[in-house]
Amino acid sequence: MQDNKQLAASIILGLLALIPNNALRYTSVGLAACLGIVYTIYLKYPPTQLRQLQEFIENTHALIRRAKLQCPGDQLSIADASLRLLEVDHSVSMIYCVILQTPRLTWKEYRMLSTNITERKNSVKRIHATVQLTVQAERQRKLAAEIGETQYILCTVRGPTTQSSTFPQQHTAFRRALVRS
């Protein structure tokens, strides 16, 4: 990533060196700086932030729907994450209503809304990470059960003299997983 920034800076400085007139060069730098500032303001503008947050919320809703199908044993934690996401979605909707009702935002309102949106975005990130961890834990549990089952089958086919060194621990874990299921 650092190399990309250095490459971009080198290209920009190289292009600036091609401009023969100093006045035109400084004008180009000023124009580029102004465009950068306007683009940054656009990205931080509350309706733009809300659109990005709404997309992230929709992605998290889709992840939760998939997790409900993939993780039948962890329905309580998934339901908790779903409830928290619905609460965040409700508060985002309320923020959007405030934006729609306010024709012009003062600087103070702009900062307050931006801060609230950032807090909601962080909440959605935490919820998303929690659901992903739940899905991965279920995946690891299934893989461990498959490994134990495969080793058990191999041990019964080969006989007890050729079992692997990790078989007793994994066999015990497999039996525990079967008991839990």
| Band (90; pLDDT cuts 50, 70, 90) | very high
**Reported confidence tier of residue 1, pLDDT bands at 50, 70, 90:** low
pTM above 0.95, yes or no: no
Rounded distance, CA 38 to CA 58, Å? 28
* CA distance readout (Å), 156 to 8, 115, 147, 160, 177: 62, 61, 14, 7, 19
- d(Cα 83, Cα 8) in Å, to the nearest integer? 44
H/E element holding 178?
A: helix 167-180
- What pLDDT score does 66 carry? 95
Best CA proximity match to 81, nearest among 132, 136, 138, 127: 127
**Lowest pLDDT segment from 5-9, 69-73, 75-79, 117-121:** 5-9
Using one digit for the tens of pLDDT, what is the confidence trace for 45-64? 888 899 999 999 999 999 99
* 132-148 pLDDT tens trace: 999 999 999 999 999 99
